[in-house]
Structure 1
Amino acid sequence: MASDFQRRKISGVFDAMDADGDGVLTESDFRALTRRWLDVRGTDGNTPEGQHLAAIMMGWWGTLDDAAGHGGRVTLEQVLRVVDELPAMPGAVTGTAAAMFEAVDENGDGVISAEEYRRMIEAWSGGRAPSEDVFAHLDLDGDGKLSRDEFTGHWFEFWAGDDPAAPGSWVFGRV
């Protein structure tokens, strides 16, 4: 059963993804998230970059819908039940981390810059959100970028962890 902390952090991401605010996630919510992300990047779904990003985001929807039972409507409670199972499924979590890393690493240089991270937060939140102190908290070695390994570790901490002090708890911003 999800702890209060897990509920808070997952609720924040859920609310950001729930574009129409109806309390359930649907394919149309993920299409809206994809459009926000493309807008933040200044591209559209007709470019190779846009098509790749859309495939990643809609793939994430397919994975979530599948994990929640393939009903086409995913509630917060269903997401929290999935989250309860994630510590025993590290491969599934790191697989989504790899896809998300690709989506965030806009220039394909193998690292996420503070600017790329900021755009990710804006895409997820639907607006401007402070991210400088969050990025610094995630940048464990202080080199000004997140490596694939750093990001993957943080992603796992966010989705499968329950430690408010873990840097990964901040992947989508302060909780």
Structure 2
Amino acid sequence: MASTAGRRLLPVGLRLQQACTPLTRRNPAPLRFYSVDASAKAVALTDFQRKKIENCFDFYDINNDGILRFDEDFETALKAYIKLNGWTEDSKQYVQYYRRWVAFWNNLYAGKMFRKDGKGDQQITREEFHSMWTHALMNRTDINKAPRWVRDLIPNTYHAIDTDGDNTIKLKDYEKFFEAFGRNNSAADIFNKLDINGDGMVSRTEWDIHMQDFFISEDETRPGNHLWGYLQ
């Protein structure tokens, strides 16, 4: 079996400039305005936003140590995801998919480093995760006014879940994504709610809407609130 050492893409650090890949160069998410009282200059997340951000962090934190790391969390999930798909480390699918997950992680890490007080330690603590999203979501009415790393994160997350690269997320993709991160419950039920038009897949348009709702909406009925599992 060919070694992956020579082709491995390291997480961000010296590679921050690679955070924007060809996969991210798409049109902005469909514009949605929310009727909220919060000023665009507000810096504190709402209670509901904090709850959603906390749920997202817990989803990614596989070993529950309160710190996100590429090798201990994302790469562990990636290896599980590769195994679920029956790929080998020298397969074309593996190489292509690894790149997508690196781009996914790079966007998150770029969010930390976008804050000038971020330390280049290749990890994101729970406090840093809250801080970077507090800064990124100052504008509560338009996700397209968020920093570039947020706008790139939306398609990169989509491509990280899209197993076969056909630009759609199907139920099997979403279930495997949840299973890889050790979250084996509720994926199918959530997926059926995310599939707005009932065609058996979540399109990029649907995904963009749900991601906007996750980050901005205060409407607790939106299915996008539960992208990373039902809120407790």
Percent identical residues: 28
Secondary structure class of the residue paired with 1:2: coil
Shift of the alpha carbon at 1:24? 1.0
Tell me which residue corresponds to 2:228. 172
Secondary structure class of the residue paired with 2:184: coil
Do residues 137 (structure 1) and 193 (structure 2) align? Answer: yes
Please tell me whether the aligned partners of residues 94 and 152 of structure 1 are also in contact (alpha carbons under 8 angstroms): no
Q: How far apart, in 1, do the equivalents of 2:184 and 2:70 lie?
A: 24
Tell me which residue corresponds to 1:111. 168
> Aligned-pair RMSD on alpha carbons?
2.2
Secondary structure class of the residue paired with 2:177: helix
**Structure 2: gaps (5+ residues):** 1-43, 113-117, 138-142
Please tell me whether the aligned partners of residues 93 and 155 of structure 1 are also in contact (alpha carbons under 8 angstroms): no
Secondary structure class of the residue paired with 2:81: helix
Do residues 43 (structure 1) and 87 (structure 2) align? Answer: yes
Residues 149-168 of structure 1 aligned to structure 2 (within 5 Å): 149-168=205-224
**Structure 1: gaps (5+ residues):** none
Tell me which residue corresponds to 2:98. 54
Q: Which has the larger radius of gyration?
A: 2
Shift of the alpha carbon at 1:138? 0.9
Structure 1-normalised TM-score? 0.84
Structure 2-normalised TM-score? 0.66
Do residues 101 (structure 1) and 101 (structure 2) align? Answer: no
Shift of the alpha carbon at 1:90? 6.5
Equivalent residue in structure 2 for 1:12, among 52, 55, 69: 55
Do residues 123 (structure 1) and 193 (structure 2) align? Answer: no
Tell me which residue corresponds to 1:25. 68
Shift of the alpha carbon at 1:127? 4.3
Change in Cα spacing, 1:57 to 1:160, as seen in structure 2 (3 Å) is farther
Q: Deviations over 1:149-174 (max 9, x none)?
A: 11122123223444322221121221
Q: How far apart, in 1, do the equivalents of 2:220 and 2:176 lie?
A: 24
One-letter code aligned to 2:60:
M
Change in Cα spacing, 1:161 to 1:50, as seen in structure 2 (3 Å) is farther
